[in-house]
Structure 1
Amino acid sequence: MNTKKTTLSVCLITSLLMGCGGSDSSEPEPAKTAMVTFSIADAPVDSAKEVNVSYLSLTLKRDGQADIDIPFVNENGVEEVQKINLLDYQNGDSLVVLSNIELPVGTYQELIINTAGCPQNQNGATDACYVVEDDDAILPLKTPSNKLRLGSFSVSTEGVQAYTIDFNLRKSLVSTANGQSYNLKPHGVTIIDSATVGAIKGTVDPNLFSAGTCAADMGNVVYLYQAPVAQDSVLGDEFDPDIDSSAPTNVIAPYASKMITLSDTANEYIYSFNHLPSGDYLVAFSCSANDDDPEQYDAILIADPTDQTHSVTLQQGELATVNFVEVI
C-alpha cells in the first residue's frame, strides 16, 4: 500500500488562527492541534474495471474561520496532482493520501475534495478522470465543478486521528448522457473515523442466484440498512430522494450495497461492508438487483428470496460474519 505524505507546516496551520512569529504575554494561547491522517477506500461497482480520479487538494471549512487547503503531494513532498483508481482499494483496503497533518482541534462543517481536470460534460477529455468499462470502453468522468462536497467531522486532542473517505460507487457513480459518460457525486461518499469502525463480511450460497423470483442470474447484491427497521417499512434499493421523489414514503434507502464477487483465494462468492460505524444493522440479499439505478427507485424485491435477511449488532472494531445460505 502506498503512503503519500504532506509537508504542510505547523506555521501554515497556526497562522490561519493567530499568525506566526514571536509571542508575548499579551497574545492569546496557541490553538490546540492534533495529528490527522486521511485515507481513501471504495467498494466494487457493477460494470467498471477502473474508476480513475485526479485529486488536487482537500479543503476544510469551519464556521467563522479561514478555510484550510491541504494539497496532495508526491513521495518527495512536492505538490502534485494524484491520479487514483478507486477500484484498487476495495474490500477493506485503503490508501493513505495525507499522513499526520496537524490541524486545529474543533468541528469542521465540510470537507471538500478538489479534483483536477475532470471533464464537465460528456464530450470532455479522458486523461484526468475517466471510467474503464467492462468492455474496455473509456468514458469521461465528471465531478461537479471539480469539487466533491462532503459532510462534517471533528478533530479532538485524543491522540492521532485517522479518517477514511469511503466511496460507495454503487451510490455515487452515475451513468449519464445515454451511457456516454459518468458523473461522480458526493451522494454515497462518507467520512468515517477509522478508529471506531467495524465490518460485516460473509459468503453467499450460489444456489440463491436463481432462487426466489429469479429464473436466472439477474444481479446479486447484498443491501445494508441501519436498524431498527419499522414493521411496515419496505427495504429499498439505491436511489437519491433529491432526484427521484416517487418512492413510497415507507421505503427505506440502504446505508450501502455491495455486489457479490467471486473470491480470489477460494471458490466461493463473497461480499463485505467495511468502515462501518458501530450500531444495529439489517443485511439483506437480492438476486434480482440488475436494474439498480443509483438515482432512481427501481422497486427491486429485497430480500429475494424473502427469507434472506439477518440482523447484526456491530461493536466498535468488530468483524461480524453473516453468511447467506439457501433454506430448503
Structure 2
Amino acid sequence: MTNREIPMKQYIALVAATALLSACGGSSDSNNAPQTGEVAFSMTDAPADDLQQVHLTIPGISLKPADGERIYLELDEPLIVDNLLDLQGTLSTAVLPPTEVPAGRYNWIRLHVLSGDNNTYVVDDMSGQYPLYVPGQQSGNEKVRHVQLVSGFVVPVGGEVSFTLDVDLRRAITKPTNKDYYLLRPAIRMVDNSTVGAITGTISDALIEDASCTSVMEADTLEGNAVYLYSGTDATAGDVYLDAQGEPADSNNPVTTANVVYDAETDSYTYEIGFVPAGSYTVAFTCQALDDNPENDDALIFPAQRNVTVTENKTETADLPEEPPVIASE
C-alpha cells in the first residue's frame, strides 16, 4: 500500500467521525451525511487448456474513485482460491462481501495477488507445479502485485451493486519460453450481476467426431472441444489472439469461451457459459481449441455456429448444430 491509498478501516473511521461532528453541531441538514453505497465482487473463470489447477491467494483489492484517492480494501482473511478451474459456467466465489464505500463513479479495480511460499501457482497436465506470477513478481522483489481491470462502474447513493470478475484463463495465463514459471495477465471482464443471463446447450456427436478435430483424450476427458462466444449476431468466429499487452489483436476475438464436457447422465456433450450480459450473441463450436495459441493468429475451424439472445436472469438454450425450423404443412 502506498501513501496515496486510503485503507478502508481508516475511511470508515472518517465517516463515523464526520457523522458524529454533524450530530454534535445540531445540524439537521441531510447534505452533511456521508454519501455511501455498498459494492460486492465475486470471481468466476473461463477455462484453460493443459492445466489441472490454478491456485490463487488474494489479500485485498483496490478501487479508484473518479474523484479521490484509491481505496485499499484488505480482506479479513486472504482469499484462497484452491482451483480457479472449478469456477466455470455459472459457478463463482465471493471476493468481497457487500461493503460500504463512497458512492459515485469508479475508474478501475485491482486484484492484489500474493506470490511465493505456494501462495499462487499452477499445476499442468503432467502434474508439474509452477509458480504463477503477476509480471514483475518473478524478480522476487515484490510478493504482492496487482492485476488491474480498467472498467468503470457506479456505486449508487444508499444502493447496492454486485459484480462478477470473469478471469479468462485462455487469455490470462501464459508461460514464457524456456522459463519455469507462468505469468498472469489482466484478462478479466467485469459484469453487473443484475444484467446477466446464461447460455447452455448440447453438442452433437457428429461435431465431436468432425474430420477437423484435433482433440485428444487426457485421462478420462476429451480435451480440445470448446464453444466460443462473440458479441452480435452472425459474428465472424475467430481465435483468441492477443497483442504483447494481452489485449485483443483483432476484432474477431471471442468475449469468452467454455469447454465442452461429457455428461454421463444424459449421454451427451454439453457446455455452459455464465455471467453473460443481456444482448445478442453468436456461439461457435471448435474441436481445435488445443491449437489456439493466444500469441498467434490461428486459423481454427468452426464447423457450427448460431445466434442466441440472452435475457437477464434467464438461461438460454443454444444447441449445436442448430435444429432447422419446423415448417408446418398446409
Cα distance in 2 for residues equivalent to 1:257 and 1:220: 10
Q: State which drifts further: 280-289 or 82-91.
A: 82-91
Residue 103 of structure 1: aligned partner: 101
Whether contact under 8 Å (2:35, 2:158) holds in the other structure is: no
TM-score with structure 2 setting the length:
0.80
**For 1:83-118, what per-residue CA distance to the aligned partner results, in whole angstroms no more than 9, with x for missing partners?**
2121232221111122120112111101001111x2
Residue 76 of structure 1: aligned partner: none
Cα distance in 2 for residues equivalent to 1:156 and 1:177: 46
Q: State which drifts further: 199-208 or 274-283.
A: 199-208
Structure 2 counterpart of 1:65, from 65, 68, 72: 68
Letter paired with 1:86: L
Cα distance in 1 for residues equivalent to 2:291 and 2:196: 30
**For 1:259-290, what per-residue CA distance to the aligned partner results, in whole angstroms no more than 9, with x for missing partners?**
21223654322211111111110001112232
Whether contact under 8 Å (1:244, 1:296) holds in the other structure is: no
Whether contact under 8 Å (1:280, 1:314) holds in the other structure is: yes
Letter paired with 1:102: E
5+ residue gaps, structure 2 = 1-7, 137-144, 217-222, 325-330
Residue 147 of structure 1: aligned partner: 146
Residue 293 of structure 2: aligned partner: 293
How many residues end up aligned between the 2 structures?
Answer: 298
Structure 1 counterpart of 2:317, from 300, 307, 321: 321
Whether contact under 8 Å (1:14, 1:31) holds in the other structure is: no
SS at match of 2:21: coil
Percent identical residues: 30
Deviation (angstroms), 1:126: 5.8
Deviation (angstroms), 1:214: 3.3
Whether contact under 8 Å (2:134, 2:185) holds in the other structure is: yes
5+ residue gaps, structure 1 = 1-7, 74-79, 119-124
**For 1:140-186, what per-residue CA distance to the aligned partner results, in whole angstroms no more than 9, with x for missing partners?**
11113421100222112474321111112122122223463211111
Q: How does 1:112-123 map to 2 (within 5 A)?
A: 112-116=110-114, 118=115
Cα distance in 2 for residues equivalent to 1:69 and 1:18: 20
Cα distance in 2 for residues equivalent to 1:18 and 1:55: 30
The structure where strand makes up a greater share of residues is 2
In structure 2, do the counterparts of structure 1 residues 206 and 33 end up closer, same or farther at CA, with 3 Å as the change threshold? same
Structure showing greater radius of gyration is 2
**For 1:172-211, what per-residue CA distance to the aligned partner results, in whole angstroms no more than 9, with x for missing partners?**
1222234632111112x11111111111111112321231
| Aligned-residue RMSD, C-alpha | 3.1
SS at match of 1:15: helix
